[in-house]
Structure 1
């Protein structure tokens, strides 16, 4: 879990305001718009599984 996520941010520094939400049930207000729910709202989760061959392994290295 990341405590802070920056997307398209030139400088890796927090903004001038800080969220009043958290990862658990400790937050102020009724929306988690700057917490985990805010990140999930603007993203699509995707799982990618890939097999990486080492040098000398796989079909491209064993052409006869």
Structure 2
């Protein structure tokens, strides 16, 4: 999960330096056993897509 967070951080840093006016959209699909996410720009181009096959901690 840390690796995915590092990838998102790098994307945000790169975006901020290259094109600060660009807006990105993040879609999440959250289930009990997996989380999928997609990062797109306003033109609909996919910048990152991932499926995390990790169980969620749902609390006590």
Given the two structures, how large is their TM-score scaled by the length of structure 2? 0.25
More helix by share: 2
More strand by share: 2
Given the two structures, how large is their TM-score scaled by the length of structure 1? 0.25
Q: Which structure is higher in RCO with an 8 Å CA cutoff and minimum separation 6?
A: 2
